[in-house]
Copies of this chain bind each other. A is one copy, B any other.
Amino acid sequence: MSVTSVEGFVAAGITAGIKPSGAPDMSVVATADGTPVAAAGVFTSNKMTAAPVVVTRSHLERSGGLAVAVILNSGNANAATGQQGLADAERMCELSAESLGCDSDHVLVCSTGLIGFELPMDVIAAGIPRVVAARRAAGGGEAARAMMTTDTVPKEVTIDGGGFTVGGIAKGAAMLEPNMATMLAVLTTDAAAEPAELQGILRAAVATSFNRLTVDGAESTNDTVLLLANGLAGPVPDDALAAAIADACGDLALQMADDAEGSTKTVLLRVTGAASDAEAAKAARDCANCQLVKCSWFGEDPYWGRIASEFGAAGVAFDPERITIAYGGHVVYAEGRPQQPDAGAIGAYMRQRRLHLNVDLGLGDGRAEIVTVDLSHGYIDENSRTS
């Protein structure tokens, strides 16, 4: 149910025909009564910004942070498509507004899929009235499914905030990176909040969830996280809303890691003892994005050498005699030397889907956490096919 677990929101997902496969490829999330509600958005920092990001940003600005609906398509990112792309993204909002009976500035738009191809606007124009007409109070799951690209499962979350609810749907299985990337998420809540307040809460939640996730170090042109709040549950304490939104984002981010392209391991990397938080974050990210380290996870190999080498090369304060590397509770490197954990125990640990890798630099109080995945044959198969 997710986004539609929240009272006052409807959603739908249909097959418009954008994807040659015939899989669902168009979604809508909207207020049930068609009135504008408070909205906030966080977007990619990639300068090759996709047209829907440009248009959604400008709609939120022009409306003062109000929205009725989000229209989404998968199968085509409408990125690197120049002026035509901008016109097409605006047209998607106009067509949605006509069907919904609202102002075009109150429609936000997200696209995901291949970069560099113009949208098939005839297919899209035929699909929009259909998806809008299909919207219903139980449509969250269909909407999540129609956002998928290389995802193998839809991602949904519902958080009971105690007196209010937060729901969310998301897609994303590659190009994830601490600055987000080809990931889309739409969150709803019935808590009451001003747009400016929502924006701050959403930005903070993204920082500790999607921005801590890295799959392959690439950053997308289309990343968007949107939040709509209709206020039906009335005002709630700021920190309660912030916590619920953060929980929803964190849950969706972990679902993305678990379903990342071809991945067989989700790795929760915690760096402590760095000279500063910034140095911890830099080293964590370098290690998480290192192809050699990723391959060692795929091989279920607790090889400390590559990890120590990656931290030594990260350009941060580093002393080979002080670094400690552990998988779960199994220390594999400490005091300048490899350690010999019990082979059976660490072997069993490495066979799990989720691994906790703890690296302590032994130098200061700096710390960082990041979520990443391994590098497998499945990733290559997914990404070397002709586009």
List residues of chain A with CB under 8 Å of any chain B CB.
45-49, 77, 79-84, 114-117, 174-175, 177, 179, 181, 216-221, 289-292, 295-296, 298-299, 301, 303-306, 308-313, 318-321, 333, 335-338, 375-377, 379-380, 382-387
Give 3 nearest A-B pairs by CB, closest first: A48-B312, A115-B305, A299-B384
Considering only CB atoms, which chain B residue lies closest to A316 in the complex?
B47
A376 touching B380 in the complex, CB below 8 Å, given contacts A218-B291, A291-B217, A333-B80: yes
CA distance A375 to B174 in the complex (A): 16
Flag if A308 contacts B218 (CB, 8 Å). no
A-B contact pairs, 22 of them (CB 8 A): A48-B311, A48-B313, A49-B320, A79-B305, A80-B333, A80-B336, A82-B321, A82-B335, A115-B305, A115-B306, A116-B303, A116-B304, A177-B313, A216-B291, A217-B289, A221-B312, A295-B383, A296-B384, A298-B380, A299-B386, A376-B380, A380-B380
Task: Name the CB-closest residue of B to A81.
Answer: B337
Contact between B338 and A116, CB atoms less than 8 A apart: yes
Question: A116 near B216 (CB under 8 angstroms)?
Answer: no
Apart from A221-B309, A301-B385: 20 A-B pairs, beta carbons within 8 A: A45-B313, A46-B312, A47-B312, A48-B308, A80-B304, A80-B320, A82-B321, A84-B337, A116-B303, A116-B338, A175-B292, A175-B309, A217-B291, A220-B309, A291-B379, A295-B379, A295-B382, A298-B380, A299-B386, A305-B387
> What DSSP secondary structure best describes chain A's contact surface?
loop
Q: How far is the CB of A121 from chain B (nearest CB, A)?
A: 16
Chain B nearest Cβ from A142, distance in angstroms = 28
B306 touches A218 (CB 8 A): yes
Contact B48 A318 (CB under 8 A): yes
Q: Quick one: given A46-B312, A80-B305, A80-B308, are A116 and B384 in contact (CB under 8 Å)? A: no
Q: How many copies does the complex hold?
A: 2
Q: Point out which of A174, A291, A333 has the most chain B C-beta atoms below 10 A from its C-beta.
A: A291
List B contacts of A45 (CB < 8 A): 313
Contacts of A335 in B (CB 8 A): 82
A79-B305, A114-B305, A116-B308 known; A296 vs B217 contact (CB < 8 Å):
no
Chain B residues whose C-beta falls within 8 Å of the C-beta of A309 in the assembled complex: 46, 48, 79-80, 115, 175, 218-221
Whole-angstrom CA separation of A47 from B82 in the bound complex? 45
**Within 8 Å CB of A298, what residues of B?**
380, 384
A384/B336 contact (C-beta < 8 A), A48-B311, A116-B303 known? no
Contact A375 B380 (CB under 8 A): yes
Question: Which residues of chain B have C-beta atoms less than 8 A from A311's C-beta?
Answer: 48
User: Measured between C-beta atoms, what is the minimum distance from A316 to chain B in Å?
Assistant: 9
CA distance A240 to B320 in the complex (A): 41
